[in-house]
Amino acid sequence: MATVSQPVPEGAHITVCEVGPRDGFQIEPAFIPTAKKIEIVNALFAAGLRHMQVTSFVSPRAVPQLADAEAVLAGIDRPEGAVITALVPNLRGAERAAGAGVDAVHTVVSASETHNLKNVNRPIDASLREFEAVCALMLRHGIRVEGGIATAFGCPFEGVVPAEQVARIARRYQDLGATSVGLGDTTGMATPTTVRAAVRAIRDAAPGLGIGLHFHNTRGVGLACVMAGLAEGITHYDASVGGLGGCPFAAGATGNICTEDLVYLLNESGYDTGIDLAALIAAAKLTQDVIGRDLPGQVIKAGPRLRRYDPGLTATASG
CB within 8 A of 283, min separation 6: which ones?
40, 43, 44, 46, 47, 241
pLDDT digits (tens, 9 = 90+) for 249-295: 555 556 899 999 999 999 999 999 999 999 999 999 999 999 999 99
Q: Residue 43: which of 91, 6, 79 has the closest Cα?
A: 79
pLDDT bucket at 312, cuts 50 / 70 / 90: confident
CATH of domain 15-313: 3.20.20.70
Give the total residue count for the chain: 319
**What's the chain's average pLDDT?**
94
3-state secondary structure of 69: helix
Pairwise CA distance, residues 83 & 96, whole Å: 17
Cβ proximity of 197 and 164 under 8 Å: no
pTM of the model: 0.94
State the catalytic residue, choosing from 17, 155, 225, 247. 247
pLDDT digits (tens, 9 = 90+) for 10-35: 999 999 999 999 999 998 999 999 99
Pairwise CA distance, residues 16 & 52, whole Å: 8
Q: Which of 119-128, 238-247, 281-290 has the lowest mean pLDDT?
A: 238-247
The predicted pLDDT at position 298 comes to 94
pLDDT bucket at 319, cuts 50 / 70 / 90: low
Is 247 tagged catalytic? yes
The predicted pLDDT at position 3 comes to 64
3-state secondary structure of 39: helix
Q: Could you give the percent of the chain with pLDDT greater than 70? A: 96
For range 40-48, the mean pLDDT? 98
245: left (phi over 0), alpha (psi -120 to 50) or beta: left
Report CA 234 to chain centroid distance, whole Å: 14
Residue 182 vs residues 25, 46, 146, 148: alpha-carbon distances, Å: 20, 25, 7, 5
pLDDT at 248 over 60: no
Cβ proximity of 68 and 101 under 8 Å: no
Pairwise CA distance, residues 43 & 286, whole Å: 8
DSSP annotation string for 141-193: TT-EEEEEEETTT-BTTTB---HHHHHHHHHHHHHHT-SEEEEE-TTS---HH
pLDDT digits (tens, 9 = 90+) for 55-85: 999 999 989 999 999 999 999 999 999 999 9
3-state secondary structure 215-249: CECCCCCHHHHHHHHHHCCCCEEEEEHHHCCCCCC
